[in-house]
Amino acid sequence: MKTIDSLGDLRGKRVLVRSDFNVPLDGTTITDDGRIRAALPTLRRLADAGARVVVTAHLGRPKGAPDPQYSLAPVAARLGELLGQDVALAEDLVGPSARATVDALADGQVALLENVRFDARETSKVDAEREELAGELAALADAFVSDGFGVVHRKQASVYDVAKVLPAAAGDLVLAEVNALSRATQDPERPYAVVLGGSKVSDKLGVIENLLTKADRLLVGGGMVFTFLAAQGHQVGSSLLEADQIDTVKGYLGTAEANGVEIVLPVDVVAADAFAADAPHRTVPADAIPEGTMGLDIGPESGELFASKLADARTIAWNGPMGVFEFDAFAAGTRAVAQGIVDATAAGAFSIVGGGDSAAAVRQLGFDEAGFSHISTGGGASLELLEGKELPGLTVLADENA
């Protein structure tokens, strides 16, 4: 992929940067600014080079029209604090305010355009509509830097189409993400252990199929584990279950055995009477979950088991929490896995934490991010790379296309 260096002298040039600022909000308060902080190295590099930096990003899922609850105003304020300069927020994306905001930039200054998903053309399935918006974005800039790793698996106007119009390069964050994930997908150092959690098996079908040809161990937790337990013939009470995926999972178990891949499932779970932070709960064997109760975390023995399976690993990829970590009563399993990965990393393993909930759990549970080799900013994008897919936002940056 083309790098920022390929864009030449950027002093005085307008550089459009696609960042991923899809941060969690409580009202107008950002509760986790990890994605904003991850964008800083590229933005500082461009500003220090004298570029006039124009950032575009999305927040939430507005329905293709302006929606005040998804305004990037809180992001602009926080970005300004972190950069140590005022970051102007245009009131629109490609309209009069955007043009005036960009025209007012001096060398080394950064401005933010309003939420790109306020324009329905951003996510349109019609090529011509996306290309029209890409052209309007391109009119605001002289070059494009793709640095929103969390969206590079999307064929969207500000990710894919604009890179075909302007001189384009990958930002430092995207390069770091791709390099890190490549270590887990291309000849990983072994043993290679993968921890998968989250709610649904169906969200990770392609990833599991690919890993059954590459990983040495697959540790399964979270809500998806109950479909695995059901596939083994166990009752799972009222736990989350995708009954239509049981046969698929049976196939995975057979493939794993044939390929010599060890699948590690919990031996105990924390079962609750209801999905609530204060629900009565108890630890039960994984193969004996009582009727009327739901598993909301792996149990303490399982936490120790998973940690032991990570201890000698040389490459570790983790995507998805082990339980409902947002509730203190059901966070111990995720904490045990995170600690196991930290310990293995300290012993020399290369570890990747997939974005989304896993990255949020690391921060919420108080772990030092330096204890992991790489914390990804993109859940879906990192999953698709682990699945072996080509990502449109990356392929468009290939040397022959740039």
Average pLDDT over residues 26-54: 96
Residue 217, strand partner residues: 193, 262
Angle at 315 between CA 309 and CA 320, to 5 degrees: 70
Rounded to whole angstroms, the Cα distance separating 249 from 205 reads: 9
Asked if residue 4 has pLDDT above 60, the reply is: yes
Catalytic residue among 356, 378, 379, 393: 356
35 is catalytic: yes
Catalytic residue among 45, 380, 388, 389: 380
Residue 295, strand partner residues: 271
Rounded to whole angstroms, the Cα distance separating 308 from 311 reads: 5
Residue 353, strand partner residues: 318, 375
380 is catalytic: yes
What global pTM score does this model have?
0.89
Least confident of 51-65, 307-321, 352-366: 352-366
Average pLDDT over residues 51-63: 97
Q: Reply yes or no: is the peptide bond before residue 191 cis, omega within 30 of 0.
A: yes
> What pLDDT, in 10s, does the model give residues 64-85?
999 999 999 999 999 999 999 9
Please name the CATH architecture into which domain 187-385 falls. 3-Layer(aba) Sandwich (3.40)
Rounded to whole angstroms, the Cα distance separating 232 from 7 reads: 55
Burial call 294-322: b when 16+ CB within 10 Å, e when fewer:
bbbbbbeebbebbbebbeebbbbbbbbbb
Rounded to whole angstroms, the Cα distance separating 143 from 224 reads: 43
Rounded CA Rg of the chain: 22
For residue 400, what pLDDT is reported? 59
Q: How many CB atoms lie within 10 A of CB 329?
A: 17
Whether 179 has a binding-site annotation, put simply, is no
Whether 357 has a binding-site annotation, put simply, is yes
Least confident of 15-24, 104-113, 178-187: 178-187
Catalytic residue among 45, 200, 250, 363: 200
Whether 154 has a binding-site annotation, put simply, is yes
For residue 402, what pLDDT is reported? 40
Burial call 79-106: b when 16+ CB within 10 Å, e when fewer:
bbeebeeebbbbebbbeebbeebbeebe
Please state, rounded to an integer, the average pLDDT across all residues of the chain: 95
Whether 295 has a binding-site annotation, put simply, is yes
Rounded to whole angstroms, the Cα distance separating 200 from 249 reads: 12
Q: Give the CA dihedral 287, 209, 385, 366, nearest 10 degrees.
A: 10
Least confident of 24-33, 84-93, 105-114, 354-363: 354-363
> What pLDDT, in 10s, does the model give residues 155-204?
999 999 999 999 999 999 999 999 999 988 888 999 999 999 988 888 88
Split at pLDDT 50, 70, 90, the class of 254 is very high
> What pLDDT, in 10s, does the model give residues 286-305?
999 999 999 999 999 999 99
Higher pLDDT, 314 or 379: 314
Rounded to whole angstroms, the Cα distance separating 361 from 323 reads: 10
Percent of the chain with pLDDT over 70: 99
For residue 378, what pLDDT is reported? 86
For residue 401, what pLDDT is reported? 45
Average pLDDT over residues 101-123: 98
148 is catalytic: no
CA neighbor of 42 nearest in space, from 166, 182, 177, 184: 177
Whether 117 has a binding-site annotation, put simply, is yes
> What pLDDT, in 10s, does the model give residues 204-228?
888 899 999 999 999 999 999 999 9
> Residue 64 burial (CB < 10 Å; 0-12/13-18/19+)?
middle
Whether 37 has a binding-site annotation, put simply, is no
Catalytic residue among 2, 14, 18, 35: 35
Asked if residue 399 has pLDDT above 80, the reply is: no
Whether 119 has a binding-site annotation, put simply, is no
- Dig out the tokens for 14 from the structure: 């307008």
Backbone angles phi, psi at 371, to 5 degrees: -75, -10
Q: Where in the chain is the domain with CATH 3.40.50.1260?
A: 4-176, 187-385
Instruction: Taking the CA atoms of 225, 254, 306 and 178 in sequence, report the sign of the dihedral they define.
Output: negative
- CATH homologous superfamily of 4-176 equals Phosphoglycerate kinase, N-terminal domain (3.40.50.1260)
Q: How many CB atoms lie within 10 A of CB 216?
A: 19
> What pLDDT, in 10s, does the model give residues 268-288?
999 999 999 999 999 999 999
> What pLDDT, in 10s, does the model give residues 226-247?
999 999 999 999 999 999 999 9
